[in-house]
């Protein structure tokens, strides 16, 4: 329990000329639903009905320590043409994509932007402790054994393997790599 990781993501969008924002903090592996249906976790008001009732789902993946988005219209019953989810201009039907700060999500005519993603480890009695934030690192995009770098690292590419650095997402490294990264090869 003491290693439980808390994560939250803030969405921003414009609705009838009003700026809206909502922060979601999902239980790991549970979906945060987004759509026009009033039962969704994030309800979008779209008089043109370009957004589906239950259109997209966000979930926190504790393995990759990142938020992902899923198109929830892909398997609807009775079968209907899926309503695309667009992420940074990329059409998502079956694929599930990791989100980063500033990702743009388009559902129908509504564009939501990921304002922030925060990750922290729970301390006793402290729901989102800032005291553990000094353990956070940015991660390179190497799939197997990624490298963890200090959050202030400015380079675009990992100094160890050259993969892109995912500087928008702060993560808590697994314990065995929590120390200083290995020397560059
Ligand atoms: Zn690397």
Query: What value does the mean pLDDT take over residues 4-9?
Result: 77
Tell me how far the alpha carbon of residue 144 lies from the centroid of ligand 1, in angstroms: 9
Lowest mean pLDDT among 18-22, 39-43, 69-73, 134-138: 134-138
* Opening angle at CA 106, ends 87 and 13, nearest 5: 120
| Each residue's pLDDT tens digit, 49-89 | 999 999 999 988 877 778 999 999 998 878 889 999 999 99
112 Cβ contact list (under 8 Å, min separation 6): 11, 12, 13, 34, 104, 105, 106
Tell me how far the alpha carbon of residue 27 lies from the centroid of ligand 1, in angstroms: 29
For the chain, the average pLDDT equals 81
Tell me how far the alpha carbon of residue 163 lies from the centroid of ligand 1, in angstroms: 6
Query: What value does the mean pLDDT take over residues 15-30?
Result: 84
pLDDT at 129 over 50: no
45 Cβ contact list (under 8 Å, min separation 6): 15, 16, 36
Q: How far apart, in whole angstroms, are the C-alpha atoms of residue 147 and residue 143? A: 10
With 0-12 / 13-18 / 19 or more C-beta atoms within 10 angstroms meaning exposed / middle / buried, residue 133 is middle
Tell me how far the alpha carbon of residue 63 lies from the centroid of ligand 1, in angstroms: 17
Query: Cβ distance 127 to 14 under 8 Å?
Result: no
Query: What is this structure's pTM?
Result: 0.65
Q: 80-111 as b/e, with b when 16 or more CB fall inside 10 Å? A: eebbbbebeeeebeeeebbbbbebebbbbebe
Tell me how far the alpha carbon of residue 37 lies from the centroid of ligand 1, in angstroms: 42
Tell me how far the alpha carbon of residue 130 lies from the centroid of ligand 1, in angstroms: 26
Tell me how far the alpha carbon of residue 99 lies from the centroid of ligand 1, in angstroms: 19
- Residue 112 CA from chain centroid, whole number: 13
Tell me how far the alpha carbon of residue 15 lies from the centroid of ligand 1, in angstroms: 40
């Amino acid at each position: 329990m003491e290693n439980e990781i808390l994560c939250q993501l803030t969405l921003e969008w414009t609705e009838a000329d009003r700026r809206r924002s909502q922060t979601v903090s999902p239980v790991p592996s549970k979906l945060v639903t987004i759509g026009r249906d009033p039962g969704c976790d994030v309800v979008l008001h779209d008089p043109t009905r370009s957004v589906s009732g239950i259109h997209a789902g966000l979930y926190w993946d504790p393995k990759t320590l990142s938020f992902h988005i899923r198109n929830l219209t892909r398997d609807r019953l009775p079968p209907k043409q899926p309503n695309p989810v667009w992420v940074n201009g990329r059409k998502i039907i079956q694929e599930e994509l990791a989100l980063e700060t500033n990702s743009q999500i388009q559902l129908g005519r509504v564009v939501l932007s990921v304002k922030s993603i925060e990750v922290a480890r729970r301390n006793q009695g402290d729901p989102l402790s800032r005291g553990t934030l000094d353990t956070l690192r940015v991660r390179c995009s190497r799939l197997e054994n990624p490298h963890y770098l200090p959050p202030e690292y400015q380079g675009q590419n990992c100094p160890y393997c050259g993969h892109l650095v995912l500087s928008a997402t702060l993560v808590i490294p697994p314990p065995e790599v929590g120390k200083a990264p290995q020397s560059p090869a």
